[in-house]
């Protein structure tokens, strides 16, 4: 693998992956919440993975868009984990998963509003101050807007600009949202602060009705998403690229085929062999 193409590290295939040679990513990504404070068998697996691959972290529970107060203790736990495993990229979702002091464990859409921007920027800065590194924020899939007063790209751009955070460009999410909300995916991409992209995600999804796609991470990446990824790589500098697969895990060779296809695309756009992670 010439370029930085990684795979989401899942317990479902951890052992097979670490003991075999069918899947050869340049790095792995994991959710710190799934590993913090864990000992025994899974700690051994994590240590084994960390010896073999560089790690990036993609969080689930920061809930940066929550109306609630930021969970500072949790951010400190994440910081410790990042330090323990020398992790240089910590990304999270531009969404909320906690409200009224109750965790929901899934990603809800934030109102695209000025006051939400100010609120989130303040929280991102707070997180960055604790972590002493930029937070990387992902554009999320959403199935309904919520009390929106501006366009999604305006919302994302303002947050990135005002907070100084980096952008995780999830290409599949752009595709899903463009379909769900009837906009042009390429125009949307061009309107994002692409110079701040530090990381890319790509994944499969499921169309559940004529007008709705759900971002499941349970299927192979489809051709139009690969094509959108191809287009995106022509607009941005080389960054690590991550394939997400959370459900319906196929043979690892199939995942490797997807990594190879991503690698082939970036090889034509990002010529030099470079260690980005």
Partner 1 sequence: MLKEETLKQQSLLANYCRTGVEPVLLNAKQENLHHYRRLVFNIACDTLETAYPITYSFLSEKDWDELTYQFFSEHKCKTTQVWKMPLEFYEYCLEKNIASKLKMPFLNDLLYFEWLELEVHTMPDINYPQVKEIGSWLNDEIAINPEYKLVKFEYPVHTTAVTSDIESKKGNYFFLIYREKETGRVQFVDLSMLYVFVIENIVNGKLLINIINEANTLFNINDVEVLKKHILIFIEDLKQRQFIIGFKK
Q: Which residues bind partner 1 (CB under 8 A)?
A: 33-34, 36-44, 60-61, 65-67, 71, 74, 96, 98-106, 108-111, 113, 115-116, 118-119, 143-148, 208, 212, 214
Tell me the closest approach of the beta carbon of residue 268 to partner 1, in angstroms. 36
Least distance CB 126 / partner 1 (angstroms):
14
What is the smallest separation between the CB atom of 108 and partner 1, expressed in angstroms? 6
* Angstrom distance (rounded) from CA 231 to CA 225: 10
Structure tokens at 190: 């061009």
Of 125 and 261, nearer to partner 1 (C-beta) is: 125
For partner 1, the closer of residues 24 and 126 by Cβ is 126
Q: In the structure encoding, which two tokens stand for residue 226, read together? A: 């690969």
- Two structure tokens written together for 245: 């697969």
The dihedral formed by the CA atoms of 180, 184, 185 and 189, expressed in degrees to the nearest 10 = -130
> Is 43 or 274 the residue whose CB approaches partner 1 more closely?
43
Q: Which two three-digit tokens encode residue 249?
A: 């895990």
Shortest gap between Cβ of 193 and partner 1 (angstroms)?
Answer: 23
Other C-beta atoms closer than 10 Å to the C-beta of 35 total: 19
Q: Provide the minimum distance between the beta carbon of 10 and partner 1 in the complex, in angstroms, as a whole number.
A: 13
Handedness of CA 186, 164, 103, 31 (dihedral sign): positive
Rank residues 75 and 236 by Cβ distance to partner 1 and give the closer one: 75
What are the CA-CA distances from residue 56 to residues 38, 76, 129, 215, 277 (Å)? 18, 17, 19, 21, 8
Q: How far apart are CA 170 and CA 126, in angstroms?
A: 24
Q: Which is nearer to partner 1, 100 or 129 (CB)?
A: 100
Q: In the structure encoding, which two tokens stand for residue 29, read together?
A: 């990504």
Closest approach of partner 1 to the CB of residue 114, in Å: 9
Q: Which is nearer to partner 1, 150 or 222 (CB)?
A: 150
């Amino acid at each position: 693998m010439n370029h930085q193409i990684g795979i989401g590290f899942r317990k479902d295939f951890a052992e097979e992956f670490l003991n075999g040679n069918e899947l050869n990513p340049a790095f792995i990504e994991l959710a710190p919440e799934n590993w913090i404070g864990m000992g025994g068998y899974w700690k051994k697996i994590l240590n084994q993975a960390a010896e073999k691959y560089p790690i990036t972290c993609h969080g689930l529970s920061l809930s940066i868009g929550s109306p609630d107060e930021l969970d500072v203790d949790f951010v400190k736990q994440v910081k410790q984990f990042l330090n323990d495993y020398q992790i240089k990229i910590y990304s999270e979702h531009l969404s909320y998963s906690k409200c009224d002091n109750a965790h929901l464990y899934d990603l809800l859409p934030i109102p695209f509003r000025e006051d939400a921007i100010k609120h989130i920027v303040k929280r991102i800065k707070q997180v960055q101050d604790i972590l002493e590194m930029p937070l990387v924020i992902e554009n999320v899939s959403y199935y309904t807007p919520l009390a929106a007063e501006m366009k999604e790209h305006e919302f994302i751009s303002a947050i990135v600009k005002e907070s100084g955070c980096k952008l995780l460009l999830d290409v599949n999410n752009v595709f899903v949202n463009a379909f769900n909300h009837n906009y042009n995916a390429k125009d949307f991409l061009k309107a994002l602060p692409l110079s701040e992209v530090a990381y890319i995600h790509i994944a499969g999804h499921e169309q559940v009705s004529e007008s709705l796609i759900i971002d499941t991470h349970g299927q192979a990446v489809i051709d139009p998403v690969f094509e959108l990824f191809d287009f995106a790589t022509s607009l941005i500098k080389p960054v690590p690229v991550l394939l997400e697969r959370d459900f319906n895990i196929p043979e690892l060779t199939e995942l490797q085929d997807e990594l190879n296809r991503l690698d082939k695309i970036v090889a034509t756009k990002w010529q030099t062999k470079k260690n980005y992670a």
